[in-house]
Amino acid sequence: MEEKQKKRQELSKPIIEEFFEWVNTTLTEKIIVNNKLKKALVYAQNQKKELSEFLNDGRIPLSNNIAERAIRPFAIHRKNWLFADTQEGAKANATFYSLIESAKINNLNIYKYMYYLLENLPQEEFLNENTLKKYLPWSKELPEDIKNYNGEYEELKIDGQPSHN
């Protein structure tokens, strides 16, 4: 982490300093007619400390792409959830979606994982917290063919036939 911090001080700090110098110069010495640009520049100026913190801590990622990718599906499907007929339906949507996103984060094959859940959960005599733990996306008890997914999907087959026929 210290090596990252040194590299950031060496390579990124001059760029950050130049950027904020440009922000200050633009705000103080130029007439800005575009309100959105002015708002963005003021925001950057007000957030300088927070936007520069990655220079001091090598653990801080350079971007928030991982977090953005994780919440993107929720933003995309938010409009779809408006049409859940009931609160229970909306809750079921959110639960199902959380389960899928958790499975992705845990590198599971989503299709095989869902198939496994739908095949095995109905066979359980009691569904309680202890029983459900072995079905959670991070469970060590999941079958190996579901885990360590590489991102390539097998063709979905129903009764041995491709599903698109």
Domain around 49? 2-55
Q: Tell me whether residue 25 is in a domain.
A: yes
What pLDDT, in 10s, does the model give residues 111-141?
A: 999 999 999 999 999 889 989 999 999 999 9
Asked, for residue 60, whether it belongs to a domain, the answer is: no
Map tokens 């007000």 to a residue. 46
Q: Domain for residue 96, yes or no?
A: yes
One domain, residues 48 and 69: no
Mean residue pLDDT of the chain comes to 85
Give the 3-state secondary structure of residue 158. Answer: strand
| Whether the predicted pLDDT of 41 surpasses 90 | yes
Burial grade of 142 (CB within 10 A; 0-12, 13-18, 19 or more): buried
Q: Does 88 have pLDDT greater than 50?
A: yes
DSSP state of 157: E
CB 54 within 8 A of CB 16: no
- 140 and 95 belong to one structural domain: yes
**pLDDT computed for residue 154 by the predictor:** 52
Both 51 and 101 in one domain: the answer is no
Domain boundary among 12, 27, 55: 55
> Around Cβ 1, how many Cβ atoms within 10 Å?
9
